[in-house]
Amino acid sequence: MTNIIGSNSLTFAVRRHAPELIAPATPIPRELKLLSDIDDQEGLWYPFPLLFLYPGNPKMGDTNPASVIRDALPKLLVFYYPLAGRIVKGSGKKLMVDCTGEGVLFIEAEADVTLEQFGKTLCPPIPCVEKLMCVDPGSDDIVGSPLIQIQVTRLLCGGFIFTARVCHVLCDGTGAAQFLTALGEMTRGAGVPSILPVWQRELLCARDPPCITFPHPEYDNVTDPKVNHKIAPDEMSATTLFFGPSEMSSLRRFVPENLKACTNFEVLTASLWRCRTIAQQVDPEQDVHLMFFVNSRGKFNPPIPVGYYGNCIVLPCVASRAGDLCNKPLGYALELVMKGKSMVTEEYVRSTMDLMVVKGQPCHKTRSTYIVTNVSRVGFNRVNFGWGEPLFAGFPSDDEDFPGVYCSILHSTNDKGESGVLAVFGLPTPTMERLIKELDIMLKFKELESGVTRTRAKTVKEKELEHERYEEIKSRK
């Protein structure tokens, strides 16, 4: 595990041009489109931020990336014309898109900074991110606001930063990646996206009559989720951890034989949940919850059509007594993660849709909860506007509204060229220090078990500490 510290101390000036509304290039149908019952749940009523860092490319010469992207947007919006509309509310909080063709918000900008100044490894938290994001005043209220807000910031070195705020009720991570990939294709000369967008939100609407067939603890006992998570920014420590082949091999040493078929995501999620709970020093009798977003496109028969860009995610929830999670071997947490993932069937998704109608689009719970968002495989890292693939692609920081709740898993390549993932999250500083220590114990087990020593002689105290670590690891394994 590499603990990567972002360039928090870096500051720079950004000069923004006047904002523009970019409308579709040709007339579009003026219609009202209903969102699905997965789309309009209240927990998705916000724009989620994405950030992409691109180096300069000599083949592109002095070409202005902002101009290239601006020119491609109207052509793409002909195909994705609902994204140029505005959200309106119907009865019972039902959300719809009024296809007005008003357009997406676009800003061109320049920054007096180079990519090199961001550090050797580009990762969250990205400094000065508020200057790099196009934020329409009042746009956190999704009704009546632009559904996509884009800023392209040119850098002194010839590179640029592309950011987008995407209204979550319109797209999940897969849908946003599909739209941005298509935008890249249009900037590179395509006349039509390689994957045509599919609306068909009726595929993910509740049955008539609705029938909730699963328990859904992910939506239980929700009041105002933000009330429970007001932590002062200076109390938080934002951390990015890299997990490559070596780190995953170390974590897998704790996987019991009967669970060897687990995925890397399942192992990593179980390990982080367990270490996080230990670090939080939770009352052993308290229940703690884990939730993670699952893409359900392939769970249907027939499958959801290729090109569907709406929300097709559900949020299974598993729970444990904190004492059991902390004191039992990793296999205990891993079984819970695998159980949660296996719960997601077509019937489970339909039950979720029906719950939305019965309970009025509730928010998911956040109290005593750890929520993992895995976008490492949706394709953000392949978005190419003509300058090649980004050096970084994903969420620019921890979720400020729910500090300490969310963990984002992003695709990454480290400075050795190894492919892996970044785990991005924040916790109060003392808790973060304990979490890092717990992870180190797991990741150094192989070294301790084999008796590998450092080149210099160890002090008696160091030997005692290593022995304590080794005995603790053995007892957990």
CB 279 within 8 A of CB 427: yes
Distance CA 448, CA 474 (A): 11
DSSP one-letter code for 330: H
Task: Out of 295, 311, 381, 384, pick the active-site residue.
Answer: 384
Paired tokens of 299: 């769970």
Residue at token pair 């019952």: 37
Quickly count: other Cβ atoms within 10 Å of residue 253's Cβ.
14
* Residue 168 annotated among the catalytic residues of the structure: yes
CA distances to 164, 395, 396, 432, 453 from 127, in Å: 16, 13, 9, 20, 38
CB 19 within 8 A of CB 138: no
CB 326 within 8 A of CB 277: yes
Paired tokens of 440: 């180190």
Paired tokens of 157: 């070195």
**Counts for the chain of helices (H) and strands (E), in that order:** 11, 19
CB 110 within 8 A of CB 29: no
- Contacts (Cβ under 8 Å, ≥6 apart) of 102: 21, 23, 84, 85, 86, 146
Which helix (H) or strand (E) element contains residue 340?
Answer: helix 330-342
* Residue 57 annotated among the catalytic residues of the structure: no
Paired tokens of 36: 């699905």
Task: Out of 8, 168, 374, 467, pick the active-site residue.
Answer: 168
- Give the residue numbers marked as catalytic: 168, 384
